[in-house]
Amino acid sequence: MHIEESQLRDFILDSGLVSRADVTLAEKDHEKTGEGIGKILVNGGKLTEDDLRRMQAYILGIPFVDLKTEKIPFEVLSLVPEPIARNHNIIAFKKTDTALEVAMLDTEDLTAIDFIKKKVGLKILPRLTDGESMKSVLLQYQKSLKAEFGDLIAKDAVQLQSIPDAGDGEDVSEDDLKKLADDVPVVRIVDTLLKHAILQNASDIHIEPQEQELLVRYRIDGLLHDAMILPKNTAASITARIKVLSALKLDEKRLPQDGRFKIDMNGEKVSFRVSTLPTYYGEKTVMRLLRENVSNFTLEVLGFHGEGLERIHRALKSTTGMILTTGPTGSGKTTTLYTVLDILNTPDVNISTVEDPIEYQMKRINQTQVRSEIGLTFANGLRTLVRQDPDIIMVGEIRDNETASLAINASLTGHVVLSTLHTNSAAGAVPRLMDMKVEPFLIVSTINIIIGQRLVRKLSDQKEKYFLTKPELATLGKSANMDKILKALQEEKIVGKSDTWDKVPFWRPKKGAASEEGYSGRACIHEIMKVSPAIKEVILKDGTTDAIQKQAEAEGMLTMIEDGIFQAVQGSTTIEEVLRVASE
């Protein structure tokens, strides 16, 4: 199934997709390097990989298949094991009694074809496909795997019901609970719940005893979803297993407990922060998933752009002062701070942190875990860090007057201090610090920049374009300055210089999208407030959230809703999602 270079060259020229001059240049490179003409044109951006594959398919007489919207039965899909499918970009999609059709990106991968032929004992019929089809079908492995996990849990739950004393656990001794926790069905159920959650990219697992059942829910992309329902009498043994993993007291059911444990799944280390709480129907367990190998984050990947991004980079050049991130729990504040730390983490600085919990482990950074039960609080940890000759300090959260005062003093004495605050907006951070008895003159002397943020659900690839009507734009204009957003879009060349709102497209989930609701993953929307001389004057004179917000907007700050609309135009999220999150 080899294609002659001359044959491919002629076909490319006939297609009209590439100019004769570009093909001639590619031929010269081919003679020098020996690399294929098609590959040279793809690398040079003259031809897409998918166009090249379609041409190769036509020349070879191999059908080209588009599988982007195809739902492949699991019994066919699983004929090619997922590791082989992922590593060799080959997937089974159609089976008859005598043959198996497989879609590939490279039909010359004879090793993969031979392996599958031996495994299934059928004639293999290779078909070419494109990269998007391959991605779409590889996702189906995960979904099918989840269904398989559900079946496995159901079987193990039935076995578990036959074990004595697996009821509500009130009268079960510690020794009996240990035996229950180590029983094979219990171990398998808990392992499966954890793997299932990792596969679904969940941020939290809720295990909630109800009157007649045990409800398991996952928080995915910020929203809770029912995952499965188990028999009520499995609750005690499942809770016991989680307590064993996280080194909690098995026989303590009347008081809340906190712990953590770590697992390694396919080379990915995931920590689970565990919290148990007594409720009317038994102990509720919540586990927060913290992926330790998080890397490759940049401010741009997190959604920062334009003037806001420039403000952050200017603040990072300062050798003193404070950078604050604000927002509710679970709004990505810590991830933003870690990304900033990664930028600041150079060999010539000493960086120390005090956190609760340590969410990501970072090289060359001294990270300290708060342990209130033995007196290691944020305040005590920060007091010690200042004596450790740091250049940059990160305080996981400013929770009280003492921590606020110490953080301000640390920034006054020649350190860069990064921290988080629970406020609804960037402007709201200033009154919050005043509530903690921090003097306004100290605030204006130390804070360089405040970042307010929220997480919104990202649109999946299955999306479609649409335009807002005039009444819809008018309604949106009540929540945001549409002229300011349009100017920002024009400055960053997202839309044309002369475009008006009636020509600016928005995006929404395509009907019948592959992902359940048309969303996959989350993105950040921000507001970045530089503490400018004018804002310093407002803080010293007035200091209210409204007055500070008004001045920040007058200086060109995009509010969170405005930044969300900006990102909705880019196709990252939807208007509805921005309004849902930013209006909370």
At 192, the pLDDT band (50, 70, 90 cuts) reads confident
Q: Give 107's contacts (C-beta < 8 A, 6+ positions apart).
A: 1, 56, 60, 62, 126, 128
| Nearest Cα to Cα of residue 529 among 418, 435, 453, 433 | 453
Domains of the chain: 5-134 (3.30.300.160), 163-291 (3.30.450.90), 306-582 (3.40.50.300)
Packing angle of the helix pair 545-554, 533-541 (nearest 10 deg): 160
* 303 Rama class: left (phi>0) / alpha (psi -120 to 50) / beta: left
Please state the rounded mean pLDDT for residues 289-318: 84
- Give the pLDDT of residue 131: 78
Separation CA 320–CA 327 (nearest Å): 23
Phi, psi of 149 (to 5 degrees): -60, -40
- Percent of the residues in the chain that have a pLDDT greater than 90, as a whole number: 45
For 510-535, what is each residue's pLDDT tens digit? 875 444 567 878 889 999 999 999 99
Check residue 168 and give its pLDDT. Answer: 47
Q: What is the pLDDT of residue 149?
A: 60
Pair 574, 506: CB distance under 8 Å: yes
- Beta strand extents in 408-541 (DSSP E only): 416-421, 447-459, 463-466, 506-509, 519-530
Burial 514-532 (b: 16+ CB within 10 A, else e): bbeebbbebbbbbbbbbbe
Give yes or no for residue 59 having a pLDDT over 50.
yes
CA atoms of 202 and 197, how far apart (whole Å): 5
State how far the Cα of 340 lies from the Cα of 332, in Å rounded to an integer. Answer: 13
Contact predicate 132/116, CB 8 Å: no
In this prediction, residue 380 carries a pLDDT of 92
Q: Which residues contact 173 (CB under 8 A, 6 or more apart)?
A: 251
| Highest mean pLDDT, choosing among 78-82, 164-168, 465-469, 517-521 | 465-469
- Inform me whether the pLDDT recorded for 277 exceeds 60: yes
Neighbour-count burial of 166, counting CB atoms closer than 10 A to its CB (0-12 exposed, 13-18 middle, 19+ buried) = buried
State if pTM tops 0.85: no
Q: How far is CA 42 from the centre of its chain?
A: 30
Q: For residue 60, give Cα distances in angstroms to 18, 55, 88, 425.
A: 20, 9, 20, 60
The stretch 326-337 carries a mean pLDDT of 91
How confident is the model over 435-447, as pLDDT tens digits?
999 999 999 999 9
pLDDT reported for residue 548: 96
The whole-number pLDDT of residue 73 equals: 85
The pLDDT-based confidence of 77 (bands split at 50, 70, 90) is confident
State how far the alpha carbon of 97 is from the alpha carbons of 65, 122, 161, in Å.
21, 8, 41
pLDDT of 310: 94
Terminus-to-terminus CA distance in the chain, angstroms? 59
DSSP reduced 3-state for 162: coil
pLDDT tens-digit map of 575-584? 999 999 987 6
Q: What is the pLDDT of residues 216-272, one digit of tens each?
A: 999 988 888 888 888 888 888 899 999 999 999 988 889 999 988 988 876 678 889
Computed over every residue of the chain, the mean pLDDT equals 85
- By mean pLDDT, which of 103-117, 151-165, 413-427 is the weakest? 151-165
* Chain segment 538-581, per-residue pLDDT in tens: 999 978 999 999 999 999 999 999 999 999 999 999 999 999 99
Is the separation of the CB atoms in 125 and 101 below 8 Å?
yes
> Residue 570 belongs to what H/E stretch?
helix 560-570
Q: CA quadruple 164, 170, 174, 177: dihedral positive or negative? A: positive
pLDDT of 166 reads: 44
What residues have CB less than 8 Å from 172, skipping those under 6 apart? 165, 180, 236
Q: What pLDDT, in 10s, does the model give residues 109-148? A: 787 888 888 888 888 888 888 877 888 888 777 666 556 6
Q: How much is the pLDDT for 152?
A: 65
> What are all long-range contacts of 213-217, with beta carbons under 8 Å and residues at least 24 apart?
214/238
pLDDT recorded at residue 169? 47
Please state whether beta strands 321-326 and 351-355 pair in parallel, antiparallel, or not at all (unpaired): unpaired
pLDDT for 110? 80
CB 36 within 8 A of CB 5: yes
Say what the pLDDT of residue 4 is.
Answer: 74
